[in-house]
Structure 1
Amino acid sequence: MITALFDSIDTKDINAFANFLAEDVIFCFSNWPQIEGKANVENAVNAFLQSMAVIEHQVSDCWQPDDMVICRGFVTYTRHDHTKLTVPFANMLQVLDGKITDYQIFADLSAL
């Protein structure tokens, strides 16, 4: 699931990304305000994906306690002016019936 999830983000395939989300998903990305609902998350993530030329995740560790998936690694953002920023990230996902119900991303995006 994690490999396919990050592939959907890195290829900017918003439809594939949205297929991982429950209808009532709660999403928090870095210091963004919390977003609720699949359609709202899909719109916000799509806008962010389009603001970057390229996004590349490298997942280094992943744990699956109970109904959670926790992973960490590095993400490289390539801006449209071709400058790059690489930062560490950690994600906590609550999964119920194969869908993400709570999606928390921890990364310092202040340099973006």
Structure 2
Amino acid sequence: MDKQDATTFVHDLYHAVDRKDVGYLSDVLAEQCRFRLGNNPEVINKGQILEGNRHFFESIKSMSHSIEEVVFQAPEESGAAKVNCYGSVYYERLDGSNTSAVFATHLQVEKGLITDYLVFADLSAL
């Protein structure tokens, strides 16, 4: 993975998230992956991560991420690339009202699979 691959990876990931595509997430998450969204508890089981995302996706009508920057750190001896990004996310609630938040995401990617997926955002307005 290089900087261009990392940028494409992030954009593909967030396009899938915006589509609420749990199948895509299943394809890119490692079996043992650490996931945390906002202030929610950390989850380390792929099945629980997918179920949590499914539940979150059902709690909103739609979302749209705008990525402002992707920062890439090449793999070291561990073989894990570190990819960080930040931007804005726009939500449409189930009642049709809208809100937005800024976010930052830390990803650790090994052999094309996410092993660390930490999203930092204040989602209290949802």
Q: What TM-score range do you get, normalising by the shorter chain?
A: over 0.9
Q: Which residue of 2 aligns with 1:88?
A: 102
The alpha carbon displacement at 1:63 in A equals 0.8
Q: Which residue of 2 aligns with 1:70?
A: 84
Give the TM-score normalised by structure 2.
0.87
Query: In the TM superposition, what are the counterparts of 1:20-99 in structure 2 within 5 Å?
Result: 20-66=28-74, 67-99=81-113
Supply the AA of the counterpart residue of 2:94: H
Q: Deviations over 1:56-98 (max 9, x none)?
A: 0000100111210100000011101111111100000011111
Give the TM-score normalised by structure 1.
0.97
> What percentage of residue pairs aligned between the two structures are identical?
34
- Structure 2: how far apart are the matches of 1:110 and 1:8? 23
Q: Tell me, what secondary structure is at the counterpart of 1:34?
A: coil
Supply the AA of the counterpart residue of 2:119: I
CA RMSD for the aligned pairs? 0.7
- Structure 1: how far apart are the matches of 2:53 and 2:104? 17
- Structure 1: how far apart are the matches of 2:118 and 2:24? 18
- Structure 1: how far apart are the matches of 2:116 and 2:21? 20
Q: 4+ runs of 1 displaced by more than 6 Å? A: none
Supply the AA of the counterpart residue of 1:24: Q
**Structure 1 gaps, min length 5:** none
Q: Tell me, what secondary structure is at the counterpart of 2:123?
A: coil
The alpha carbon displacement at 1:18 in A equals 1.7
Verify: 1:4 aligned to 2:12, yes or no. Answer: yes
Verify: 1:103 aligned to 2:111, yes or no. Answer: no
Q: Tell me, what secondary structure is at the counterpart of 1:19?
A: helix
**Structure 2 gaps, min length 5:** 1-8, 75-80
